[in-house]
Amino acid sequence: MMIEETKRSLHDALCVARNLICNNSIVYGGSSAEISCSIAVEATAEKFPGVEQENNPHCGVDGNDVVTNNMKEQNVFERLIGKQQQILLATQVVKMILKMDDVITPSDY
C-alpha cells in the first residue's frame, strides 16, 4: 500500500510539473483566489446585514498553524489554470441546473 501511495504521489508531482511547463501562471494558494473572487462579488452585490468578509485578497486557509493567514507572506501558490477550470465548471453546472428548472416544472410531479 505504501508503494502504491508513493507511485501515486510521484505521478501527481510529475503532472504538476508538466502542467506548469504548459502554463506557468500561478496564484496564491490556500483558497485565497476563491476569497478574492468572493470579495469582488461582494463589492458588486447588495450588502446583506450581518455578513462580514475580510477585505484581504491574500487571506487563505492556513493548514500549517502559522500565525498569519496571508498566503503571500507564506509563499503558498496554486496554478491559475486550475482555478480558471474550477470557476468554468461551476458556471457550467449552474447553467445546467437552470436549464433543468426550465424543462422540469413542479406541476410535472
Please report whether residue 109 resides in a domain: no
Helix ranges (H only) for the chain are: 2-22, 32-44, 71-74, 80-103
pLDDT (tens digit per residue) in 2-44 = 999 999 999 999 988 888 898 888 888 888 888 887 777 666 5
pTM: 0.46
Please report whether residue 38 resides in a domain: yes
Q: How many domains are contained in the chain? A: 1
Please report whether residue 18 resides in a domain: no
SS3 37: helix
Nearest C-alpha neighbor of 27 from the set 36, 16, 18: 36
Domain extent for 36: 25-103
Task: Give me the pLDDT at residue 67, please.
Answer: 66
Task: Give me the pLDDT at residue 16, please.
Answer: 84
pLDDT (tens digit per residue) in 61-101 = 666 666 667 788 888 888 888 888 888 999 899 888 888 76
Please report whether residue 67 resides in a domain: yes
Please report whether residue 17 resides in a domain: no
